[in-house]
């Protein structure tokens, strides 16, 4: 007799029940957390790979090689961040491919089935959108792969085809009639429309330069969200980093954390000033803090640079709350979790991928390019300005004004690097003017070259797959 081990799941026998379908989708949500997980020996995390090469950051952690080399533009194809992004993104894509192929075969509620497949397509698009912006032409794998598959050693696919697939996945997810809001953090139709607007805006710029109609498409998709009225700006900035506020209000799409389930977010600790004794725990890393040159680009009366809004310069000593510790320079406050710092050392602050402020900025930028300084375009950008207690823009607004406003609002949220790439423009923090990406010098010395328009294909992938070719200059 041969006994069947029913607990030994494989690709072939796993997708049998509605519970299997939901579990496979839940895995995709869990895999989002790699972006803010640890990825090195000391104070290193994948999200930092999109911040240090912008030239806007200092660090107190010299031993963080991956951060240091990107900050000084001296890294190479061995940088572990490139491998972590590549490997984790493709693992998530592989799981999404399985879900997309196998969930339709399960006997289950039709609406649930349709929603699960839509969520999987959104996740596949999300990871490919990151990969194509970072690495350019990347292998496009849209079906499950096993050891005997030709796709086990894939070739790179032209970036235009990758973008076409991203758009198709998002459009099909949009057609699935997902709910517009969800406080549990599941993908919503609003999240799908938000990323679709972002993709269209990116396609309008470099490297595709797909045509001015993509600005109009981005604006129209963002306007759908604005007109629906399901999301709005918080009245104050504190709500953006309140762990009790998740997936609602301004927060459109986040990765989920829950301290009680030991699913914690270390971003707060990484960004604390190093060894200043303001925390109850020995977790003050000082990994990244803004350059003075960048902070000086804000207007003096901008509410966002007031103490304990987006930045802070001092905090009470943990041992003596009457003693104020002066940091000597501003640090990032927009991810500060007071409970984690003072009481628990476990932060359940969600990491935000998209918030409503970005929708307003996408509409303003794309709408300006498509229609000019219309009242609707000005109304969108001025919502951002009004919260910052700044004078409204008028019809004399320029594209550069919108770019600068977006940088100030979304600073250190993994947006600016991708903006630099699609515009091929960078803010000169000394002059306040925008200038060409190639040849732009950071305030502390290094100069961007054409090589940095793409990250390096991870060397270990090149070594393992002879069909992959390295990006120029690496």
Interval 157-204: pLDDT, tens? 999 999 999 999 999 999 999 999 999 999 999 999 999 999 999 999
- 32-41, 100-109, 362-371, 391-400, range with the lowest pLDDT: 32-41
Beta bridge partners of 441: 447
Interval 378-416: pLDDT, tens? 999 999 999 999 999 999 999 999 999 999 999 999 999
- The answer to whether 421 and 453 have CB atoms below 8 angstroms apart is yes
Report the topology of domain 14-178+456-464. 1.25.40
| 18-31 and 80-102 helices, crossing angle to 10° | 160
How many angstroms separate the CA atoms of 194 and 191, rounded? 5
Q: What rounded mean pLDDT belongs to the chain?
A: 95
- The answer to whether 186 and 351 have CB atoms below 8 angstroms apart is no
Determine the pLDDT at residue 41: 77
Percent of the chain with pLDDT over 90: 92
- The answer to whether 316 and 278 have CB atoms below 8 angstroms apart is yes
Domain range summary for the chain, segments of one domain joined by +: 14-178+456-464, 259-349
pLDDT of 2 above 60? no
pLDDT of 1 above 60? no
CA atoms in the 13 A half-sphere facing the CB of 437: 20
Determine the pLDDT at residue 147: 81
Determine the pLDDT at residue 56: 98
Q: Is the pTM of this model over 0.75?
A: yes
Determine the pLDDT at residue 62: 85
Region 34-48: mean pLDDT is 92
């Amino acid at each position: 007799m041969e006994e069947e081990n029913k607990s030994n799941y494989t690709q072939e026998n796993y997708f049998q029940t509605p519970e299997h379908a939901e579990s496979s989708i839940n895995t995709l949500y869990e895999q989002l957390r790699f972006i803010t997980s640890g990825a090195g020996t000391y104070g290193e995390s994948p999200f930092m790979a999109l911040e240090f090469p912008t030239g806007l950051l200092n660090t107190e952690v010299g031993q963080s090689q991956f951060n240091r080399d990107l900050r000084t533009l001296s890294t190479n194809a061995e940088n572990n961040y490139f491998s972590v992004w590549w490997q984790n993104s493709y693992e998530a894509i592989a799981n999404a491919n399985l879900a997309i192929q196998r969930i339709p075969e399960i006997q289950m509620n039709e609406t649930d089935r349709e929603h699960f497949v839509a969520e999987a397509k959104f996740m596949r698009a999300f990871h490919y959108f990151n990969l194509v912006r970072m690495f350019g032409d990347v292998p496009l794998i849209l079906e499950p792969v096993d050891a005997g598959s030709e796709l086990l050693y894939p070739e790179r696919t032209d970036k235009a085809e990758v973008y076409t697939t991203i758009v198709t996945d998002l459009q099909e997810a949009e057609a699935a009639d997902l709910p517009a809001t969800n406080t549990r953090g599941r993908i919503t139709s609003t999240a799908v429309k938000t990323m679709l607007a972002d993709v269209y805006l990116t396609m309008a710029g470099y490297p595709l330069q797909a045509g001015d109609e993509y600005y109009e498409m981005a604006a129209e998709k963002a306007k759908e969200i604005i007109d629906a009225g399901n999301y709005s700006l918080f009245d104050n900035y504190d709500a953006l980093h309140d762990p009790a506020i998740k997936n609602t209000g301004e927060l459109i799409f986040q990765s989920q954390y829950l301290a009680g389930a030991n699913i914690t977010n270390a971003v707060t600790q990484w960004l604390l000033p190093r060894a200043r004794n303001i925390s109850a725990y020995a977790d003050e890393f000082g990994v990244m803090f803004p350059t003075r040159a960048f902070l000086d680009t804000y207007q003096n009366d901008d509410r966002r640079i007031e103490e304990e809004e987006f930045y802070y310069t001092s905090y009470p000593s943990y041992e003596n709350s009457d003693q104020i510790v002066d940091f000597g320079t501003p640090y990032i406050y927009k991810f500060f979790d007071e409970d984690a710092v003072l009481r628990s050392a476990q932060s359940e602050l969600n990491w935000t991928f998209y918030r409503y402020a970005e929708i307003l900025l996408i509409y303003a930028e794309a709408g300006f390019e498509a229609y000019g300084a219309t009242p609707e375009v000005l109304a969108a950008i001025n919502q951002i300005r009004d919260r910052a207690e700044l004078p409204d823009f008028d019809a004399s607004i320029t594209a550069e004004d919108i770019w600068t406003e977006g940088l100030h609002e979304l600073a250190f949220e993994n947006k600016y690097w991708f903006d630099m790439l699609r515009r091929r423009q960078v803010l000169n923090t000394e002059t306040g003017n925008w200038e060409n990406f190639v040849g732009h010098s950071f305030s502390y010395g290094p100069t961007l070259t054409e090589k940095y328009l793409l990250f390096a294909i991870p060397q270990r992938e090149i070594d393992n797959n002879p069909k992959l070719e390295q990006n120029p200059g690496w």
